[in-house]
């Protein structure tokens, strides 16, 4: 009989504790959750999530026989965490180019030709692309990794169509 009373008293205290905890949580924590949700909504409108990213840029940290390690510059959205160090696999189909500036006179001529033809096609750029190979790369160079698919969260990037190197 005494065990039954203890069990019933325990169940009553448990129920009272649960109701009291629910009440306190609802009255005290409910406002904080609503405030947090409102702030999260505001932040998401100011810093929209990156949906897809097929181009990354960064600095070469290490050069291997068939890949390079690239320290990728940070995302513009401070609330997204993407890997900073990426391994970029280089295959036979990966095109590697270095940007070389054009002379002012060559660029001016291309721009005049472009304007003379009613600005059709792609406008001229101030740089040309020259093909290079893996052995021409140097640690510390800035590169743009261009892919055919989303690579925003890949630690190892295998589908690279082009690597564009900015000279130092």
- Exposure b/e, 89-114, CB count within 10 A at least 16 = b: ebeeebebbbbeeeeeeebeeeeeee
Looking at residue 144, what is its pLDDT?
A: 94
Question: Per-residue b/e over 126-159, b at no fewer than 16 CB within 10 Å?
Answer: ebeeeeeeeeebeeebbbbbbbeeebbebeebee
Extract the runs of DSSP E, i.e. beta strands, from the chain: 55-63, 67-72, 85-89, 95-101, 127-131, 142-147, 156-157, 160-166
- Domain extent listing, the chain: 1-46, 55-166
Q: Identify the pLDDT of residue 49.
A: 74
**Which stretches in the chain have pLDDT values below 70?**
1, 28-31, 74-78
CB 154 within 8 A of CB 86: yes
**pLDDT, tens digit, 9 for 90 and up, residues 122-140:** 888 888 899 999 999 999 9
């Amino acid at each position: 009989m005494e065990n039954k009373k203890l069990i019933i008293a325990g169940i009553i205290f448990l129920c009272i504790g649960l109701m009291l905890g629910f009440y306190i949580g609802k009255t005290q924590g409910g406002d904080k959750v609503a405030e947090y949700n409102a702030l999260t909504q505001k932040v998401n409108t100011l810093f929209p999530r990156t949906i897809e990213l097929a181009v990354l840029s960064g600095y070469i940290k290490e050069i291997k026989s068939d890949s390079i390690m690239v320290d990728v510059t940070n995302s513009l959205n401070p609330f997204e965490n993407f890997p900073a160090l990426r391994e970029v696999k280089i295959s036979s189909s990966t095109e590697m180019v270095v940007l070389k500036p054009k002379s002012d006179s060559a660029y001016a001529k291309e721009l005049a030709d472009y304007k003379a033809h009613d600005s059709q096609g792609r406008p001229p750029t101030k740089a040309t692309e020259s093909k290079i190979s893996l052995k021409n790369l140097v640690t510390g160079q800035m590169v743009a990794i261009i892919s055919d698919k989303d690579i925003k969260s890949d630690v190892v990037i295998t589908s690279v169509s082009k690597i564009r190197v900015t000279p130092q």
